[in-house]
Amino acid sequence: MTDNIVAMVSRFLTPELIGKLTSAANLDRNVGQRATTAILPAILSGLASVAGTPTGSRQLANVVAQQPTDMLGNFVNSLTGSAPQTAAKGVDVLSTLLGGGALGLLTSTLSKFLAVGEVPTRSLMGLLTPLIMGVLGQQQKATGLDANGLARMLTQQKEEIADAMPSGLSNLLESSGLYQRVSSPSVTSPPAYDTARRSSVQRMTGNGATVRGATWAYWVLPLLAVAGLLWYLLDRGGEPVRTTNAPNVAAPIGFLAKAPSDWVPASDGDYANQPVYNRSGESLGTIKGILKGPDGKIAAAVISVSRVLGIGEKDVAVPFSALKTEQQATGRRLVLGVTKDGLQSAPAFQR
């Protein structure tokens, strides 16, 4: 019979290691043990829900298979000098498996339960994730489990994982909607704009009785709109029209392969090691450095971006103006209007 997965991971969590994890996450040592005993089963509970879906079980098996074979042996060393990068990679792995929205729910729920900020909570989650993946990989190899076997190992231990949580946390995670978000990540209802468009068509066609009579509108109306826009631009002498607060429209980002010679790296405590998200809530990476122009103002941010499934990394530089600040209930969040794939395919920044 497979050992209890919580117990297997807990064997590695010596008081010395918990102290290092707590320090790396900028948590008070007094809350380190309590935070670890809550976050560990909470992550495993989310992964067990992921493993309960066909797509999720395949993703989990892929992530576990791609972990370095010496992950557990080098885990302590990864906390020395490169803890922020280790945490960022772990958060990227969780975002890949759980989805950005579910990861945000899990983070906020744990933050409220532990009464600590979301940033140190997310950091400790990211630091624990490589350890969890390493133990899962070790167990998979030791027992010869395939993707389905790995999934069964987790789903069959849901009760044991819930029992390992501190009192009240299991109910809190259940009521947050986390498990529904993880097991059903796709949106099953039609997007609002599609519904509105269909309603408009039905009004124009008498609820579908005369579809042909409305077909011309889909061709003519967009052409009229384009013609009106061209006339407006020409009337202004070709001056570009500036739009503000355009919802869900991402302006192209001018990624920087190299910085101008008069730009200099600078330390900025407000942005260093801060996570960056896209508009969907997915973790994109962590700010690794700041570049200032000759006027002394911040010109660009260098983001450490994890590659596919959190394995490997590269630096990508973006104009600082491309970063937006969103005020959440728990604090500020940096947002970049680009997809995860778009950032991973951007040119690497050469210092």
CB 257 within 8 A of CB 347: yes
**185-189-195 Cα angle (round to 5):** 145
Q: What is the pLDDT of residue 349?
A: 85
Instruction: Encode pLDDT of 28-50 as tens digits.
Output: 877 888 899 999 999 999 999 98
pLDDT band at 310 (very low <50, low <70, confident <90, very high): very low
pLDDT of 43:
94
Where in the chain does DSSP place strands (E)? 264-266, 275-277, 283-292, 298-306, 313-319, 323-328, 331-336
Report the C-alpha gap between 3 and 302 in whole angstroms.
Answer: 43
The C-alpha atoms of residue 95 and residue 102 are separated, in whole angstroms, by 8
Q: Are 86 and 286 in contact (CB under 8 A)?
A: no
User: Residue 325: pLDDT band by 50, 70, 90 thresholds?
Assistant: confident
∠ CA 309-311-314, nearest 5°, is 110
Q: Where are the alpha helices (DSSP H) in 72-168?
A: 75-78, 83-98, 100-114, 118-143, 147-155, 158-163
Residue 351 is classified by DSSP as: -
Distance between CA atoms of 2 and 8, rounded to whole angstroms?
10
Measured CA angle at 186 (ends 183, 189), to 5 deg: 120
Q: What is the pLDDT of residue 124?
A: 92
User: Going from the N-terminus, what domains does the chain have, and what CATH number goes with each?
Assistant: 5-183 (no CATH), 264-344 (2.30.30.240)
Indicate the range of 88-92, 135-139, 215-219 predicted with least confidence. Answer: 215-219
More confident residue, 268 or 257: 257
Q: What are phi and psi of 343, to 5 degrees?
A: -75, -35
- Checking if the pLDDT of 220 tops 60, the result is no
Looking at per-residue pLDDT, the higher value among 239 and 150 belongs to: 150
Query: Taking 90 as the threshold, does the pLDDT of residue 226 lie above it?
Result: no
Asked if residues 21 and 128 have their Cβ atoms less than 8 Å apart, the reply is yes
| Rounded percentage of the chain residues whose pLDDT exceeds 90 | 13
